[in-house]
Chain A
């Protein structure tokens, strides 16, 4: 199993450009998440999904969009990039079933994004 994969690893964007961060998992997890990590800080939740076709906002969703058309993929779209979106972005996945508790989240390697 590859686990959680993210592309690209690094990207530099100009202000106002758009891009999509790709995330895929091969563990048949139903839950997927996007976080951002700013320097010296912990991770903050951007968006999450509990299954294909279902997404919801996290703590810091402004400036981002997501979609989940399949169980495996959960892309994050940045529209009109701004310097405040300079960060490291992590995708994660987990399996949760009713009455079975919460299991660990598996993280991808991250994407370092710089907006200048």
Chain B
């Protein structure tokens, strides 16, 4: 079975600080894709960042970057210069190949304090 584990149910940091959210996953497949999704109180699921497992280079999107350690099956998200609008649930997810849907972790509730 494929699983995603997010070990931090909740995190709280001050505005402008850097925060790292943890994610580990388990799969026997070699071709897969990893994602971080943000879910603000509006409930909308918003893609934050995407990583192809075959790429060694870590993905970055503005203030968001990942640390992808394939051998350790780890996929952490770093948010730099955190902003109040970053307050949300963050879900780590992956998909194998392309046919099946995403497998999600339980999420981390990130709170940015002013």
Contacts and interface: CB of A to CB of B under 8 A. Distances in A.
B101 A48 contact: yes
Contact of A105 (B43, B99, B102, B107): B102
The interface residues of chain B, by DSSP majority, are classed as loop
A45 B98 contact: no
A35 B103 CA distance: 10
A58 B106 contact: no
A44 interface: yes
Which one of A43, A44, A101 has the highest number of Cβ atoms from chain B below 10 Å of its Cβ?
A43
A37 to B, nearest CB: 9
A43 B102 contact: yes
A31, A41, A42, A104: residue with the most chain B Cβ atoms closer than 10 Å: A42
Contacts of A41: 106-107
Nearest to A44: B104
Nearest to B52: A101
**Main SS at interface, chain A:** strand
Interface residues of A, number: 24
A43 B44 contact: no
Contacts of B4: 42
Interface string B72-104: 000000000000000000010101011111111
B96 to A, nearest CB: 9
Contacts of B98: 31, 96, 101-102
Interface in B1-58: 4, 33, 35, 42-45, 47, 50, 52
Interface of A: 31, 33, 35, 40-45, 48, 50, 56, 58, 88, 90, 92, 96, 101-102, 104-105, 107, 109-110
9 contacts: A40-B107, A42-B91, A42-B106, A43-B91, A48-B99, A48-B100, A92-B101, A101-B98, A104-B35
